[in-house]
Structure 1
Amino acid sequence: MTDRVLYRSRLRISVVFAAHGAAVGAFATRIPWLQQHLGLSDSTLGVALLAPALGSFVAVPFTSRLVHRFGNLRSLTCLLPLWCASLILPALAPDLPALCLALGMFGATSGMMDVLMNVQGVQIEQRLHRPIVASLHGMWAVGGLVSSGCGALAAGADMDARLHFAVTAAVLAGIGLLAARHLPKADPTEARQPPPRFAFPPLATLPIGILGFCAVFAEGASGNWSAVYLTSTANASEGIAALSYTGLSFTLALARLSSGFVVTRLGPVRTVRLSGGFAALGGMLVVLARTPPVAIAGFALIGTGVAVVLPLSLSAAGRHGGDPSRHIAGVATFTYTSSLLAPSVTGAVADAASLPVAFALVTAFAACPLFLASMLARPVQSPRERERAATGGPLLLTQGDSAV
């Protein structure tokens, strides 16, 4: 495959990542609309926001079986329109049970898409022989940034979320399918035997999974509760409150798009430690904020801090050897578990105490990469790689092995 084809493939998968981020951004900016439309309390909303992560948690372990049977690219192109269509369902829900079911469908399709597009990205990264996964996640954040900006305008204009979601889903499905149709097929995996129907995370992914868990907890809580935080704590209008997610998405995009330069200079471990400092500072600003500008700045710093942790973790998992879809799904299971807990725990603490107290807990998770970054320096070995090491053969290292 020529370099020109590979660079075009990188552009196409970047568009798919951006479309995925745009769907999440559109949903996040209209959470206050859903809360007001159904008359939900903070704690009830927190329960409802369990559903997307629960759907992802249940669906993601089946992804490797799907890839083995149909191939990664075919699975991606078939699932993409279904995932876009599922964005409309939450706005159509008439009550809390229907909302939870709709959010579960959205989370299940979104989570499986997440694994499929990361597998595709890792394959292209390996063929290019240069790190691109973090920049792909940067494009995800760019999509979220653009979509959240549109969501802020829609909220400010009092547009019905049902119309907003329908237009967004149609546009993203068209753009995503146009980009995905010419992506290269993924390389065949080493495993000849089909994976189990429900693949539990490999134990080798535990260290990087823990690191990803903490970062995603902070990102998930911030993404789901930032707009609500500004309306209830900083007395912001719905339109201004939507800008909190815009600030989060902007710094996520900027940090991920520039991560190649930073990681090359500092290495993954130092980069993640520095990121943890930014995230902790942002969390403290949010806790202390009583005006919209300070709160928005705090969420922007949280975005800067958590931006590169998950991409570096997924890149390491994808280079594990064997079936990359299973190892990426393994890390994704940890991160979706975190996504499952973050909104509901934040809502429960907010209902029992206050949103600032809840975000004090979020700040603690945001600061964890300061202390857990060294996990990226540990080699993630498959059984085959351990056998090579035992017999004196070459050992395949992950991106984090040369971090310090």
Structure 2
Amino acid sequence: MGNKPDAANERTSGLPGSGAERSGARAEAGVGASGSSSSVPAPPRAARAAVCAVFFVTGAAFATWAARVPAIQGGLELSEGQLAVALVGLSSGAFLGLPLVGGLVARYGSRPVLFTGMTVYLAALAGLAFAPGLPVLTVALALFACGNTAVDVAMNTQGVLVERAYGRNILGGFHAMFSLGGIAGAVAGSLAASADIGTRPHFAMTALVLCVVVATAATALLPDPPGQVEDAGPLFALPSAGLWIPGLVAFCVLMGEGVMNDWGAVYLHDVTDASPGAAGLGFALFSAGMVAGRLCADRIRARADTVRFTLGCALVAAAGAVVSISVPTTGAGFAGYTLLGLGMAAVIPVVFSHAARLRPERPGPAIAAVSAIGYVGFLAGPPVIGGLAEAVDLRAAMLVLPALMGAMALFSLGLRRR
């Protein structure tokens, strides 16, 4: 009875799919099914809750590390340069794993890759606190990033499968759960630091609790479609021609997100003379905008196609960038950062869903290919801003943000033909 609105939504959805797929979704929801539902391991509502839990756990685990970086640095007596070396392990582990994960998902399915990746991810989280020095910390961060990469691709593949079963857009809500998990992990980390709880008990207990949550959720994940893992192809493959456009859209938004993560608070402090607390609040408003945008995205997408939605996101984010740069005050920065968060929030789930529709028989490799292109931008953004700030000044360097949003708008027009 409670699932009937989902069946109704399938009839009005713009998502492609065969009649058999739509019938299968109704059968899973218990609507109009004449046969048994035993062919699937869990109803869509349970699978949706499970994927939400996985996204939440992933965000919480990463924020746990991010919130205690100063404690790790102090405990190992690392200089700024040594910490930067350790962080190379984080970025290189994530980037190098992306081209392989798509092939693994295609060959073995998203659920096994998710289980394996989450095991590595949470074990590495606990291990970060026990690293005796810089070399071990660097290796642990590389493993942490590899596990996160595997989980990221596999959980988005699961999200696409659940979205197909529902017959309507729900991927944005999953990404909102990632953001909420990040907030929860950051708050817990702040409380642990305030209570003078060491990183070893904090990370070990967090990893254990999150592992229990994932183990509980794992029983409700959906199986990959029959035949999807039979013709796996190579483990390593470059993005195919049709995936470069969504990949470039992802590049623009993730480069912008990387810039905001590393330079957003610095810009408010150095350019608008905001206090350290106000600069932190500005970044919090950007994060809140991301959460709000992801929570609202699915309902907006139901009324707009991919091109119009992505164009709208680019315009909102560009407006935020222009406001924060053209009026160098803290108040304008707050308003601009909120708009930037709202505009950037849902672009990634939209392009992931679009890529999966381009390759319905191999959604995992398609998502991995788009992620790989996008992650280049995420890694490139902060050093590009740093170099430009040295050459000119930080305010001028931040003009990269509206330029990126303009490029994203242009690239999104290419999605119309896909």
> Within the alignment, does 1:339 sit opposite 2:399 as a pair?
no
Residue in 2 that maps onto 1:393 = none
Instruction: Give the secondary-structure state (helix, strand or coil) at the position aligned to 2:238.
Output: coil
Residue in 1 that maps onto 2:251 = 213
Selected match of 1:38 from 74, 78, 93: 78
* C-alpha distance in 2 between matches for 1:63 and 1:376: 24
5 Å-filtered alignment, 1:180-219, equals: 180-190=218-228, 192-219=230-257
Q: 1:101–1:351: structure 2 CA closer, same or farther, 3 Å change rule? A: farther
Contact 2:318/2:401 (8 A) holds in 1: no
More displaced 10-residue stretch of structure 1: 102-111 or 314-323: 102-111
> Within the alignment, does 1:321 sit opposite 2:360 as a pair?
yes
Partner AA of 2:294 in structure 1:
R
Q: 1:369–1:29: structure 2 CA closer, same or farther, 3 Å change rule? A: farther
More displaced 10-residue stretch of structure 1: 11-20 or 279-288: 279-288
* C-alpha distance in 2 between matches for 1:88 and 1:293: 40
Selected match of 1:132 from 166, 170, 174: 170
* C-alpha distance in 2 between matches for 1:53 and 1:318: 25
5 Å-filtered alignment, 1:72-221, equals: 72-89=110-127, 99-154=137-192, 164-190=202-228, 192-221=230-259
Residue in 1 that maps onto 2:28 = 2
Partner AA of 1:7 in structure 2:
R
Contact 1:29/1:152 (8 A) holds in 2: yes
Residue in 1 that maps onto 2:417 = 378
Contact 1:53/1:336 (8 A) holds in 2: no
Residue in 2 that maps onto 1:281 = 319
Residue in 2 that maps onto 1:312 = 350
Q: 1:72–1:265: structure 2 CA closer, same or farther, 3 Å change rule? A: closer
Contact 1:12/1:183 (8 A) holds in 2: yes
5 Å-filtered alignment, 1:288-299, equals: 295-299=333-337
* C-alpha distance in 2 between matches for 1:222 and 1:155: 24
Contact 2:63/2:182 (8 A) holds in 1: yes
Q: Report Cα offsets for 1:41-73 as digits up to 9, x if no partner.
A: 6xx866755543322221122223323443321
Instruction: Give the secondary-structure state (helix, strand or coil) at the position aligned to 2:305.
Output: helix
Q: Report Cα offsets for 1:193-213 as digits up to 9, x if no partner.
A: 332121222221011111111
Q: 1:370–1:178: structure 2 CA closer, same or farther, 3 Å change rule? A: same
More displaced 10-residue stretch of structure 1: 160-169 or 77-86: 160-169
More displaced 10-residue stretch of structure 1: 107-116 or 343-352: 343-352
Partner AA of 1:325 in structure 2:
G
5 Å-filtered alignment, 1:221-370, equals: 221-226=259-264, 236-237=275-276, 243-287=281-325, 295-319=333-357, 320-350=359-389, 355-370=394-409
Contact 1:16/1:117 (8 A) holds in 2: yes
Partner AA of 1:323 in structure 2:
R
Instruction: Give the secondary-structure state (helix, strand or coil) at the position aligned to 2:399.
Output: helix
* C-alpha distance in 1 between matches for 2:150 and 2:64: 19
Partner AA of 2:411 in structure 1:
L
Contact 2:106/2:228 (8 A) holds in 1: no
Contact 2:290/2:344 (8 A) holds in 1: yes
Contact 2:106/2:364 (8 A) holds in 1: no
Partner AA of 2:245 in structure 1:
P
Considering only CA atoms, is the larger Rg found in Structure 1 or Structure 2? Answer: 2
* C-alpha distance in 2 between matches for 1:297 and 1:150: 27
Q: 1:305–1:57: structure 2 CA closer, same or farther, 3 Å change rule? A: same
* C-alpha distance in 1 between matches for 2:71 and 2:386: 17
Partner AA of 2:172 in structure 1:
A
Partner AA of 1:331 in structure 2:
V
Provide structure 1 residue ranges, at least 5 long, that are not aligned to the other structure: 380-404
Partner AA of 2:220 in structure 1:
H
Partner AA of 2:46 in structure 1:
R
Q: 1:86–1:185: structure 2 CA closer, same or farther, 3 Å change rule? A: same
Q: 1:51–1:240: structure 2 CA closer, same or farther, 3 Å change rule? A: farther
Q: 1:154–1:135: structure 2 CA closer, same or farther, 3 Å change rule? A: same
Q: TM-score, normalised by structure 1?
A: 0.80
Partner AA of 2:187 in structure 1:
G
* Identical counterparts, % of pairs: 32
Selected match of 1:60 from 88, 98, 109: 98
Residue in 1 that maps onto 2:16 = none
Q: Report the Cα offset of residue 325 of structure 1.
A: 1.2
Q: Report Cα offsets for 1:66-99 as digits up to 9, x if no partner.
A: 2344332122123213212323455556666555
Provide structure 2 residue ranges, at least 5 long, that are not aligned to the other structure: 1-26, 31-42
Residue in 2 that maps onto 1:402 = none
* C-alpha distance in 2 between matches for 1:222 and 1:34: 23
Report the number of matched residues.
Answer: 376
Contact 2:60/2:185 (8 A) holds in 1: yes
